[in-house]
Structure 1
């Protein structure tokens, strides 16, 4: 196998990737370029730069990708109402293709011959990163330290860090910290007590949201405006996609919205328990479905709902850059041409309640037809008899056949 000269590492500055940085230098004797994506994780990124410098890294990339993340990845996903296994809003999954994309771009820019990531050999992220790499750079060399080294636990990682003088944040008495991932859409937690699916998460684990019990006793109303399926304003204020998520995160967190405790089926085959906080995304999904309820044709809406699980699985499993995901996206985006208008929501103690929706240009709701009052001939109720009899014909034929047996 050819020698690795230079590698671009997806680097967070946390325990895993800090150890990986040193391990790459020692194991491969190569130059390491670090890439840290600011996708709204809400952490100070200067320590990551300081750590990389301390370990002798000369090329350090720290880039603000929040708007690109929200505009080109999160919002297209929400146009599909994508939810994995009925509950998960794909906060970690949707971030990986953007990181992989930028990592490959930096590898080309710096003439690196390899890329590396900190995903474990048991998880989904290794698949997501590497499918992204290969889709964009088919011949790239990929280094996945978790599949090569003997540092097989977080305790061993921390011992390695201590030995090599690598500072580690968020130490907790009695064990290693939770494995966490945060971005503009969500924050996730794995490990520690969560490895027992029977145990309730400790309240101190949650970082973004108040508990519903401690949320305000008074509900708060919020109005979202949509244009072609994307939220473009909150409470009358025009916002960029990243600003929309930031605003909705603040509102949702205040009212205890968006907590999830989930045992999910990983792509690699095992079941895994994780906890998530997705306050803004939970609000956005509810509002988007309400907007579609009055602006989408019935059959278009039903086709979208049928395709959504497949679309969500493609994202969860790492196929963002696949031809089938791109094809589905074109269909989904075409359906959003008429998804324009506003939705009013009530936020109260963990709940997102739709209390109103409207569209001046694209509403298919016709009150003159739907009314329980006099409709002045807009709908002839007698027509329903023939409609029902025709739709019952196959069942009537089957019932008569059964009765003769």
Structure 2
């Protein structure tokens, strides 16, 4: 590996799974590099201590296991939800939004430890390699990034398993054969891709779902909740003020129990291919509906429509890995400005996969009973004014019609 001859220390994004454990040993054996591991607690579920123990087993001295849940939600998830961001109209960007945070910490640790490079376990076919690396280069233009899936000589999963066996890397029994699908998870979502999901006509098996009960099996009773917002972010659930990560975890529990947030999507990857994924975003699905509901009464029409126009571009930037790009930051400033008066409460009913808005109220509401009432409006709106409004807006249409009639 001549191009990495000068690399003596590497910070690895380490999950503790088979692939990143093989990458860890590969960095040690092929590059003769000292490895620092970074494992982010993003709320993916499960214990993270096994990752620490496995890193110790593989001879790592500097092991970083960091709880970044609050940072993830407050600095990445909430800003994204202020935009009501959906990629290709459906996807809540659960994997996409976690990658810049991981890259930020990898670069920080590289600076702290004097490491020569960072490394990740993303494959050469997916979006994550782009997201990790664009984020890293935006934060440090001179950073070296090692992507073993693009560099090593392994051609198959059998090659990986043989390497693991040769280097005494523990292989869980269920990983001895082909995995039925791959999973990524964090506090915002879980995603499943590959294998049993590769045929877009085949219905996903129920066991694929990680975060939600089936809507058909959800309770027959309605769950009613209220969410309070300030400056576009949720701050309280059912009247209880909560930290960002705690509030989001509570929404996840409510969504899970009511079968909310499942998505079966064939999306367009940045690298050019289509892929099929099964996503579960229970809390995020609830939050999106609630946020749109509070915007309905607090956001001016022009501001709201402009936000909807730029949203697809904003979502695409996040999906493609440009979180730290100036255009995303510019759009974020516009979005955040729009949220200054987005505050108040939204009431919702959760029932068998559905999120139903039943009420919204705010001290900053632009909704006026006097203007919309069918009763006596006491002169708040003169209906005769509508005639001139319509004639002026219809002027060009009448002109066109007159020409066409000729």
Q: Do both proteins adopt the same fold according to a TM-score greater than 0.5, normalized to the shorter chain?
A: yes
* The one of 22, 27, 33 aligned to 1:24: 27
Q: Is it true that 1:63 corresponds to 2:66 in the alignment?
A: yes
2:234 to 226, 231, 234: 231
Deviates more, 1:246-255 or 1:144-153: 144-153
Q: Report the CA distance shift for 1:258/1:143 in structure 2 as closer, same or farther (over 3 A).
A: same
Cα distance per residue 1:151-207 (max 9 Å; x no partner): 344454334323433223472796324211110100110111111111111101112
What residue in structure 1 maps to residue 10 of structure 2? 7
Secondary structure, aligned partner of 1:82: coil
Alignment correspondent of 1:387: 389
Equivalent position SS for 2:340: helix
What CA deviation, in whole Å up to 9, does each residue of 1:220-268 have, x standing for no partner?
0010000000000000100111011100000000000001110000001
1:402 is the counterpart of 2:396:
no
Paired residue secondary structure (2:213): coil
Q: Which residue of 1 aligns with 2:273?
A: 270
CA contact under 8 A between 1:75 and 1:230: conserved in structure 2? yes
- Counterpart in the other structure of 1:94: 97
- SS of equivalent to 1:326: helix
Question: For residue 54 of structure 1, what is the aligned residue in structure 2?
Answer: 57
Correspondence list, 1:262-341, <5 A = 262-341=265-344
Kept after mapping to 2: 8 A contact 1:128/1:318: yes
Structure 2 unmatched ranges of 5 or more: none
Would you say the 8 A contact 1:7–1:113 is kept in 2? yes
**Which aligned runs of 4 or more in structure 1 are off by greater than 6 angstroms?**
none
Equivalent position of 1:261 in the other structure? 264
Aligned equivalents of 2:76 and 2:341: distance in 1? 21
CA contact (8 A) 1:221 1:346 kept: yes
Q: Answer whether contact 2:317 2:328 (CA < 8 A) is retained.
A: yes
The answer to whether the aligner puts 1:132 opposite 2:149 as a matched pair is no
* 3-state secondary structure, aligned to 1:23: helix
The more displaced of 146-155 and 25-34 is 146-155
- Aligned to 1:244, what secondary structure does the other structure show? helix
Q: For 2:355, what is the secondary structure of its paired residue?
A: strand
| Residue 340 of structure 1: how far off its partner (Å) | 0.5
> Which residue of structure 2 lines up, in the alignment, with residue 366 of structure 1?
368
Q: Distance in 1 between matches of 2:163 and 2:274?
A: 29
Determine the structure 2 residue equivalent to 1:242: 245
Q: Per the alignment, in what secondary structure is the counterpart of residue 188 of structure 1?
A: strand
Tell whether 2:116 aligns with 1:113.
yes
8 Å CA contact 2:9, 2:33 repeated in 1: yes
Is the Cα–Cα contact under 8 Å of residues 146 and 152 in structure 1 kept in the other structure? no
Q: Measure the CA separation in 2 of the matches of 1:30 and 1:162.
A: 21
